[in-house]
Structure 1
């Protein structure tokens, strides 16, 4: 999954003064790259003494020319590395990148490719020598990123291809809410208050009983039986939060311990479908769930007709203020006879393929040093917020603390548009580290709080309700070429059939008595081979180090 990194007033800001100080402190310990006669400093700035030019290809959000971005211009001075930019629009980037590989007209660096550089292509381009393996260079030339892998071994496992190489670096998120697998379900706090509910449901039965109260006790107080206890759009969010109540975290493969299973034919999935059909049949699940749009769902929320609903934040649906939204509790993981311990799906906290070096690069070591700075706190703040004088300026608050405040012309409503003019990370999952660096936020005024009360509340909800119970449904793995070929067709067919069947089972179009027939149909779609492939990929992932 990708991560949103909106850096407005409550986002992070740079420590440019420290970064510039580092420019004058370049380590004398240097090494010559094996791909060219380039001497690269292993620490400090500049990275190279003699000016070095590299070409870079990246998707553009279309806000401004990358050559004019203040963060990149300043970083070129710090590093002594100049970049030539090829930045197709995001809508065309995947096509342009594939053409570059096909024609061998490759840039030196591929930046923020994300899903455009698919795992399959990463394996293929690496194997045929178009991408440079990085694992031997990382300890020396990417110490910040190396520390992240040591801290979280799953990162190394998740970016190591079947041939044992690392061809691309990821975006790494340590922000509190980066643990979300998808935007949560939220309870309507006004309804809970009206019904005197003090404690959220912890079991599927308690949840069912609460939904019945939402339906029958007029919690919106309008005298009409118009309440919709639970809603979603095609179950895309709700299933992620409700399936774990039955011990399943994915509508695809998941690992139960070290055993890979296909969740949609597990007996626990039948229990999930049975429960959801019960809700639908009794009018507790919105009858429009499989047909409505997000806008239609949100309109119901703004009319105060929803009890439990999905969105990134509750006020996106209800239209309430952020202060009011703090009364809408985040989903509490449920248990059931099938799953007596609470568990919830959690994000792996990385987005792969965000920085790759091609065979044309004159100095992979220098390129790796160039990006490694962004895996540190100072570097991440710098590339996100740029140097002083554009998005922010230093100011001293009433406590005598030096803080960052919005520069002239920057407001809470236009700060992201302004950031798009100076930073290449706008709108992209760029190769970098992010975290809750509250002391470095950009404030409207020097004495304004670093973080809003709403942000603090959301973090606390996450720490209480997701972090203790979170588990990644299935690790990020790579498949070999043969494995890709063996599952490519069945993967799409399985996904389509399972989603269509889910809707039919829940709405009653297909009776649950047809479960065995459904399972046999899936088995006929080569699901056993599908699971076998992912078991092998999981086993490789676990052994990678």
Structure 2
């Protein structure tokens, strides 16, 4: 039985489905006017080294998913256009929207009919892959024989191989290392204009933050004569970032942390209990948005971007201009708030938020796996990677005579981040920027990724060690959904109740006992086993 721990201070195949699957596959194959290449193309001369990869053109079907309605503007990236000419590998891009991909994904996996290549970790999750391994090729030999760029990257950054190794010891998906990523993730953001109007200093600790929240609530800092200010808001559950001062950091939203080298389920720790008491005090005094557990993101955004006056005083965001629209210049990032123990804690990844897996998979239906591997390897150079993260040289990036690269300013009225997504595959797909190369990249420190790196200096010294993005086996994935659905649901419901109503001390023991009855001990064992595999992978 798992007891309440004290956390120390620490840095379905139905006929309908098959019909829908057939329609989906037909639709995907028709996206760019073609399906597989004629069988004769499989005899095209393949070059193990150099370019072109094949002497006669070969077409590969590549499926990727984009956020919302982003569409296919990234195909105008000149590097991608040049890649087709240089390699003789033509890409039939099959671009889906994340808005309806969930249902389409289930249909595709049920049908077993997949394109040649899966591009980007938004397409399939770990469980999708592990539970359908017969659809994907092990890539170890392809990496060794045909992917010198990736092989060198894995030697320089061993964590890339570590995080890509599946429970059976093989690599099925390719990783990425993104350039110029910060160590810390979400920073405290506060309305500096409000502070100045009320003659208040930037809060340093939880007591000072409490006093600032009270002043925001009671002293009309937006100056409209109404008591409409919301000191801190959110959507759904209270953001875990509000608990950072109590040593609770959870960038993966799985209720896990690593404490003294051991995985810990923090919702049963004393630190968590104290954080909930703090949140309840704020809620009870009207300092937390009273609609926080009922509003959706649309309602929250309407408050953050209220057209008449700013309404929200404090938030946790990537950068200050991420959500506040016309009011963005009133907000600044501040250092992590010190907790009752006098220490600061910041969510993030020691060494940076740059490493990703599942960025490219080669399916077993792919008739040109060697060609596909060599094509993917072209993405693993520094110049290829920066052009696939921000945009092409000459469009978004200026290559200077001294070997440096300068990011150009976005068009008027467009944010830097939106421009990068428009011009590149951005976070998705294989890429690798060597740590030593990053010094050649010149970023505008007033916006986008450059601004984030400046802000990162406020919290990078306080970044804690997160529970890593471990890989689970097929057997573990069979158990996890039931365990996490019950346990996570109970934790979330109880947390909302305690924040709005209180009584955590009186109900704590019964809460921990209930979690044990739900199988918390088994959940922890699964996660500890996966953690051990992850940390021992070579």
TM-score, normalized by length of structure 1?
0.75
Q: Distance in 1 between matches of 2:76 and 2:283?
A: 55
Is 1:374 the equivalent of 2:379?
yes
Is 1:291 the equivalent of 2:297?
no
Q: 2:163: which partner in 1?
A: 158
1:206 to 196, 205, 208: 208
Superposed counterparts of 1:220-299, under 5 Å: 220-221=222-223, 225-237=227-239, 239=240, 241-250=241-250, 252-292=255-295, 293-299=299-305
Is 1:503 the equivalent of 2:496?
yes
Q: 1:142: which partner in 2?
A: 147
Q: Distance in 2 between matches of 1:360 and 1:354?
A: 18
Alpha carbons of 1:457 and 1:208: their partners in 2 closer, same or farther (altered >3 Å)?
farther
Q: Distance in 2 between matches of 1:64 and 1:344?
A: 36
- Deviation, 1:461, is 4.3
Superposed counterparts of 1:117-196, under 5 Å: 117-126=124-133, 128=134, 130-177=135-182, 179-181=183-185, 183-196=186-199
Q: Distance in 2 between matches of 1:85 and 1:45?
A: 22
Superposed counterparts of 1:450-469, under 5 Å: 451=444, 453-455=446-448, 458-459=451-452, 461-469=454-462
Alpha carbons of 1:503 and 1:296: their partners in 2 closer, same or farther (altered >3 Å)?
farther
Q: Distance in 2 between matches of 1:380 and 1:307?
A: 38
Q: Distance in 1 between matches of 2:419 and 2:201?
A: 43
Secondary structure at the aligned position of 1:352 is classed as strand
Superposed counterparts of 1:313-462, under 5 Å: 313-315=319-321, 317-320=323-326, 324-325=329-330, 328-337=331-340, 340-346=342-348, 348-383=353-388, 391=395, 413=414, 425=425, 429-433=428-432, 451=444, 453-455=446-448, 458-459=451-452, 461-462=454-455
Q: Distance in 2 between matches of 1:483 and 1:49?
A: 45
Higher relative contact order (CA 8 A, sep 6+): 1
- Deviation, 1:374, is 2.0
Q: 2:63: which partner in 1?
A: 57
2:234–2:292 contact (8 Å) kept in structure 1: yes
Alpha carbons of 1:451 and 1:82: their partners in 2 closer, same or farther (altered >3 Å)?
same
- Deviation, 1:92, is 4.8
2:416–2:448 contact (8 Å) kept in structure 1: no
Q: 1:32: which partner in 2?
A: none
Q: CA RMSD in A?
A: 3.9
Q: 2:117: which partner in 1?
A: 109
- Deviation, 1:316, is 5.2
Runs (5+) with no aligned partner, structure 2 = 1-41
Q: Distance in 2 between matches of 1:420 and 1:477?
A: 27
2:390–2:424 contact (8 Å) kept in structure 1: no
Residues 478-517 of structure 1: per-residue CA shift (max 9 Å, x gap): 1112212222212112222211211111111655421222
Secondary structure at the aligned position of 2:61 is classed as strand
Is 1:41 the equivalent of 2:48?
yes
Matched residue count: 483
Residues 162-194 of structure 1: per-residue CA shift (max 9 Å, x gap): 0011111134323335x454x543111012223
Q: 1:11: which partner in 2?
A: none
1:170–1:350 contact (8 Å) kept in structure 2: yes
1:301–1:317 contact (8 Å) kept in structure 2: no
2:347–2:464 contact (8 Å) kept in structure 1: yes
Secondary structure at the aligned position of 1:166 is classed as coil
Q: 1:444: which partner in 2?
A: none
Runs (5+) with no aligned partner, structure 1 = 1-34, 442-449
2:397–2:407 contact (8 Å) kept in structure 1: yes
Alpha carbons of 1:353 and 1:374: their partners in 2 closer, same or farther (altered >3 Å)?
same
Secondary structure at the aligned position of 2:425 is classed as coil
Alpha carbons of 1:134 and 1:217: their partners in 2 closer, same or farther (altered >3 Å)?
same
1:109–1:355 contact (8 Å) kept in structure 2: yes
